[in-house]
Structure 1
């Protein structure tokens, strides 16, 4: 599949079929590696030249917007598929691959009546795509919110002992809580473990001898228990802090633990559901945006061709996919299909001509713009 296509219209002097045959023959002879297709545009409602001129001012900006939304949805699909472990899918539009939809383009009269004014078609496309973009933002934000909550929980479960949730480490049997005694949890730097073991019994007066037990260890810290009298707890916290030991507050509650577990399971289910829903929505919406984009391109070719070649409409529109090495040759072939006097007029600014139509960087004696599918 090519990812970059040229959409081109050439002025017809005699007949479109004759020009098409000449172009096919020339491309086949001089640039055989360049796929060539007809881009069939119906007879649209021209309106006035003034309305076409006014419309042309908005075409480039609107095209950038629609193209941007298309790429945004495509990137979202790729990200979701990657996270879900899905092999990258071949996106389709109306049941056919994306590139096939472009190269076999057929105007959808039901969605875009050809008797509608061009401005109405273009504005309708812009409004529809803008609504899809707004929906995308809402759906992505909802998905990202759940993902952020899960990430916060995971950080608490995987961070260092100084900050992580201790409920998965500390068991009820590790703690003593009675009328007079309490067990505290001390986070000790790994390099200070000997200091802790030699000093914790004497930090205050009411520590139970040999009551400290190591529960867990990570790359930075070790988690120890220590049992002492209730009345001495605050004093012990203060003395421990002075020695560089952190006393973590922790109350084991089986109901709280179960609630947290249920909340985590629900968040994981919500994330999977939202991801699946968002992915399916993106598949559908990508097709809608791409369909609208190609119809917009058809309007753009039609409008620019009328302004370039005049009335009545007499032009041949085609789609090409030249390789980088063939671009110069294909441009030469296309220019050869145009009237030579007209070719002199349409040169780049550096060559003293009018420059690009509608803000295009390149100027040619024919209408031409690029479609990037990715």
Structure 2
């Protein structure tokens, strides 16, 4: 599938059918690898010249906005498919692949009545796309919020013993809690374990001898228990800190443990549900945005052609997908099909003509031209 297309309109001197035949013949002979299609635009309500001039000023900016929203949704789809392990699927508009929808474009009269003022059609498309973009932001934020909560929990589980959640490392039998005794959890540097084992009993007076047991070890630290009289706990924390041992605050609570487990399971379920829902919404919304974008492009090519070639509307609009190496050749073919004096006037700045002075893709040629980038 091509990802970059040109939408072109050429002025018709005699008949659109004969111009189309000449274009097909030239492309097939001199640039046979270039895809070429008619871009059919219905008889749209023209309005006044002033209204077209006013509309033309907004078309480029609006096109950038719509194209940007299209790309945002596409990137979101790619990200979600990658995370979900979903095989990338062809994006569609009502079941039709987007490239086919573009190259076989048919105006939707029911959605965009051709007798409506062009400004009304363009503004309606802009409002619709803006609403979809706002909806995207809300849905992505909701999904990212759950993902952030999960990431925070996972960081706690994956960090070093100095910072990670210890609840899944400690069993009920590791903790002694009575009227007079309590068990503390000490985080000891991996290389200070001998020091801990030889000194913990004498850090304070009321430590239970041989009460320290190693529960876990990571790349940096080891986790030990130590049992002592409750009244001596604060003093022990102070003495341990002076020796470089960290006493972690921890209270074993089976209900809290179960609650955390359920919270984690719910977050994981919510993330899967939100991700699936967001992906399906993106598939549908991309189709809506793309369809609106193509109708917008039809209005744009119509307006620019009227302003370029005059009234009554007499132009041939087409879609091409030339390869990079064929672009100059195709541009040459298109210029040859325009009036020769007009072609000289509209040469690009590099050739000393007016095209570069006016700027913009559409103004650099003696015909109307702009690019559609699908990605």
TM over 0.5, yes or no? yes
Contact 1:59 1:358 in 2 (8 A): no
Gaps of 5+ in 2: none
Contact 1:139 1:278 in 2 (8 A): yes
How far is 1:352 from its partner? Answer: 4.3
The Cα offsets for residues 285-331 of structure 1, whole Å up to 9 and x where unpaired, read as 00000000000000000000000000000000000000000000000
How far is 1:362 from its partner? Answer: 5.8
Contact 2:338 2:367 in 1 (8 A): yes
Counterpart-to-counterpart distance in 2, 1:333 and 1:239: 87
How far is 1:91 from its partner? Answer: 0.7
TM-score, L = length of structure 2: 0.98
| Partner of residue 290, structure 1 | 290
The Cα offsets for residues 90-133 of structure 1, whole Å up to 9 and x where unpaired, read as 11112111100000000000000000111111100000000000
Contact 1:56 1:358 in 2 (8 A): no
Secondary structure of the residue aligned to 1:331 is helix
Contact 1:60 1:358 in 2 (8 A): no
Counterpart-to-counterpart distance in 1, 2:15 and 2:100: 26
Counterpart-to-counterpart distance in 2, 1:63 and 1:352: 29
Counterpart-to-counterpart distance in 1, 2:20 and 2:133: 38
- The structure-2 alpha-carbon separation of the partners of 1:309 and 1:361, relative to structure 1 and needing over 3 Å to count, comes to closer
Root-mean-square deviation over aligned CA pairs = 1.2
Counterpart-to-counterpart distance in 1, 2:272 and 2:180: 48
Farther-moved stretch of structure 1 (139-148 vs 357-366): 357-366
Counterpart-to-counterpart distance in 1, 2:261 and 2:208: 34
Farther-moved stretch of structure 1 (17-26 vs 254-263): 254-263
How far is 1:181 from its partner? Answer: 1.1
How far is 1:350 from its partner? Answer: 4.7
Contact 1:57 1:358 in 2 (8 A): no
User: Is 1:207 aligned to 2:212, yes or no?
Assistant: no
Counterpart-to-counterpart distance in 1, 2:31 and 2:345: 26
How far is 1:353 from its partner? Answer: 3.4
Contact 1:158 1:164 in 2 (8 A): yes
- The structure-2 alpha-carbon separation of the partners of 1:57 and 1:358, relative to structure 1 and needing over 3 Å to count, comes to farther
Contact 2:240 2:247 in 1 (8 A): yes
Counterpart-to-counterpart distance in 1, 2:114 and 2:95: 24
Secondary structure of the residue aligned to 2:259 is helix
Contact 1:308 1:367 in 2 (8 A): yes
Note the 1:303-342 alignment, pairs <5 A.
Answer: 303-342=303-342
